[in-house]
Chain A
Amino acid sequence: MSLRSLKTGNPEAGDVLWSPHDSAARRSLSLCAAGAVLGLVIAGIGLFTAKGTRTSVVPAEDVALVNQVPLLMSDYLVQLRALYDVSLSEATPEQKKKVLNDMIHEELYVQRGVELGMQSDTIEVRAALAGAVEAQVAADAAMAQPAESELLAYYDAHTGQYASEGILELEDYLIAPQSRLQPPAVAAALRHGANPAQLDLIRTATMKDGEEFYFAAKIHLDDALYEAATRLQSGEVSEPLRLADGIHILVVKQNTHPVPRSYAEVRDKVLQDYIAEQVKLLAAGNDRFLRKRADIAVARGFE
């Protein structure tokens, strides 16, 4: 029994598989053809518009393709602006040509550099590549903008980091070696408003310029004096402090302790630090990943 006789159930129908005189056969072929055409159209659209697909047609976002590597239109515009301070429509044909030629030249040389293995041989290229990969990691971290709640949690966990800088203003006195007064008595007299000049006290040159931030005071004062000074309140006089160069007494005019700054005041810093921490984490993860997948053989004795 032929195919046609099977289809029609008529054993007398003959052995013809397809006949142009049969309307059903014509319709089925037409539908097949329409389906094929539609499929080709869809495939064509997909092929020529898919992201990453490169054809001889230069995509609209690019100004040229060099060995299928796109030169971005946005870079071209930036170059026009940087070289001639003109927009696309203001640029002369010569200016456009110059910029495009420069970009093509650069791309060709980059590609040639890769062919020649410059990334293995040239220190500057290696440093630039390593830096670019690290920067890419940083960019990925920066891209993920944290939620406000995450920033607040970070701020709460690092409040000390966002404190104001303390300010100290003090007078540092040395008891004169020839003084007959007992140091505790001198300190007590100062607390009662005595004139330092009448107490055989010599003012040191330290912190004579008035207010200083804590970090500067720490540099200018001896560690012991700094510790003592920051513990005192404004208007207080220290106990006598015996150091290598003699006995010191500090008169603290003003001590503004560091205080936490509000979240609103430091939000930009919090965001910056938060992202920096994320970058550090991502970079460490990236480093681990690269080491894990790499085949690293270290010579004996250099492990």
Chain B
Amino acid sequence: MPFQRPRSRTNAAISAVLAIAVLAIASVALVLHVQQQRRGEALLRADPDRVLASPALRRTAIDIGRPAFVRECAGCHGPRGGGDRLRSTPDLRDGEYLYGSGKPDEIEQIVLYGIRAGFSRGKNLASMPAYGRAEPYAGEPIPPLGPAGIADVTQFVLSLSGRSTDPEAAARGRAIYQGAGGCYDCHSGDGRGDPGIGAPNLADAVWLYGDGSARSIAQSITYGRAGTCPAFVTRITPLQARAIAIYVASLSQDRQS
């Protein structure tokens, strides 16, 4: 006698319920996927400068940006963007920016193309010469300084924030700064820097390298500086780049508020 599968209304009902449940789950997943995609598109189409003012866009950006930041950037900047003084990676929460003024589109460019990362669209224009080396700068001939000259320029830099201990040395340093040393070319005549090329403001209390002491300033003048930030353009999606930029911009905004 052949085996006969018992057929009942209960089985049919269970099958129908399962089928409906699967369809419902698939529909919900599809709707969520489409919604998420629409939110991503809205974020990409929006003016980056206005995203933080829009609660919905802000939430989307931070939902995407924070995990991407932790995955890609926290290795240097720390999981909360606080930087690492020992490694001279900047604190992204303090509202002080070496390049630009912290606008999300400026940050996005750095996320995409980096700093001295090999991309012509990145920030590569200049680096701090090593005035205590025979050839201070690879890009163009700049005369080196002697130990006394470096000490004088150090005093001048300290004087910009009212901390010079030797006014005569500071006066000699000013002559070098505004003359043969060519320091004014990047840091501007008043020492307030140029965010267009990443030349820091020497008159404030924010120091990326060292603690702003005479020794650490002299070290920077003697041996030069050239920090880097990798380019992520081939590693993350445009949406992630935008979201990271918004998230980073939100760090300083949150702190200020």
- Residue-wise, chain B 232-250 has the 8 Å CB interface mask toward A (1 for contact) of 1011011101100000000
Docked complex Cα distance between A49 and B38 (Å): 12
Tell me which residues from 247 to 298 in chain A have a Cβ below 8 Å from any Cβ of chain B. 261, 264-269, 271-272, 275, 279
Docked complex Cα distance between A261 and B147 (Å): 17
- Interface residue? B164 (CB, 8 A): no
A139 touching B118 by the CB < 8 A rule?
A: yes
B230 touching A272 by the CB < 8 A rule?
A: no
- Residue-wise, chain B 99-131 has the 8 Å CB interface mask toward A (1 for contact) of 000010110110010101111110000000000
Contact of B228 among A87, A90, A266, A275 (CB under 8 A): A275
Tell me which residues from 213 to 243 in chain B have a Cβ below 8 Å from any Cβ of chain A. 219, 222-228, 230-232, 234-235, 237-239, 241-242
A78 touching B105 by the CB < 8 A rule?
A: yes
Residues of B within 8 A of A142 (CB): 114, 116-118, 228, 230-231
Contact of B146 among A137, A212, A275 (CB under 8 A): A212
Residues of A within 8 A of B227 (CB): 268
- Interface residue? B179 (CB, 8 A): no
Contact of B222 among A136, A165, A209 (CB under 8 A): A165
- Residue-wise, chain A 88-112 has the 8 Å CB interface mask toward B (1 for contact) of 1110000000000000000000000
Docked complex Cα distance between A49 and B232 (Å): 21
Check A215/B144 contact, CB under 8 A, given A60-B44, A88-B47, A272-B226: yes
Residues of B within 8 A of A81 (CB): 103, 105-106
- Residue-wise, chain B 12-37 has the 8 Å CB interface mask toward A (1 for contact) of 00000000000000100010010001
Query: At the interface, is chain A mostly helix, strand, loop or mixed?
Result: helix
Residues of A within 8 A of B86 (CB): 264, 267
Residues of A within 8 A of B206 (CB): none
Closest to A254 in B: B147
B112 touching A132 by the CB < 8 A rule?
A: no
A88 touching B48 by the CB < 8 A rule?
A: yes
- Interface residue? B166 (CB, 8 A): no
Residues of B within 8 A of A51 (CB): 237
Contact of B76 among A72, A138, A145 (CB under 8 A): A145
Contact of A135 among B48, B119, B209 (CB under 8 A): B119
Docked complex Cα distance between A45 and B46 (Å): 23
B146 touching A211 by the CB < 8 A rule?
A: yes
Contact of A60 among B40, B49, B118, B234 (CB under 8 A): B40
Docked complex Cα distance between A90 and B48 (Å): 11
- Interface residue? A204 (CB, 8 A): no
A60 touching B45 by the CB < 8 A rule?
A: yes
Residues of B within 8 A of A212 (CB): 146-147
- Interface residue? A226 (CB, 8 A): no
Docked complex Cα distance between A273 and B170 (Å): 33
B238 touching A61 by the CB < 8 A rule?
A: yes
Contact of A139 among B119, B132, B209 (CB under 8 A): B119
B148 touching A210 by the CB < 8 A rule?
A: yes
Docked complex Cα distance between A215 and B230 (Å): 33
Docked complex Cα distance between A61 and B224 (Å): 38
Docked complex Cα distance between A32 and B151 (Å): 84
Closest to A131 in B: B120
Docked complex Cα distance between A16 and B47 (Å): 64
Residues of A within 8 A of B41 (CB): 60
B148 touching A211 by the CB < 8 A rule?
A: yes
- Interface residue? B134 (CB, 8 A): yes
Please give the distance in Å from B180's CB to the nearest CB on chain A: 14
A72 touching B48 by the CB < 8 A rule?
A: no
Please give the distance in Å from A283's CB to the nearest CB on chain B: 11
Closest to B219 in A: A265
Closest to A70 in B: B238
B132 touching A213 by the CB < 8 A rule?
A: yes
Residues of B within 8 A of A61 (CB): 44, 237-239
Check A143/B238 contact, CB under 8 A, given A61-B44, A74-B105: no
Which residue numbers of A lie inside 8 Å of B, CB to CB?
A: 38, 41, 45, 49, 51, 60-61, 72-75, 77-78, 81, 87-90, 132, 135-143, 145, 164-165, 167, 209-213, 215-216, 261, 264-269, 271-272, 275, 279
If A45-B30, A215-B133 are given as contacts, then 16 extra A-B residue pairs at C-beta distance below 8 Å, sorted by A number, are A73-B45, A77-B48, A77-B105, A88-B46, A132-B120, A137-B118, A138-B118, A143-B235, A145-B75, A145-B230, A213-B144, A264-B86, A266-B223, A268-B228, A272-B228, A275-B228
Q: List 15 A-B contacts (CB under 8 A).
A: A72-B238, A74-B242, A135-B118, A139-B118, A145-B230, A210-B146, A210-B148, A216-B134, A216-B144, A216-B146, A268-B88, A268-B228, A269-B224, A272-B228, A279-B118
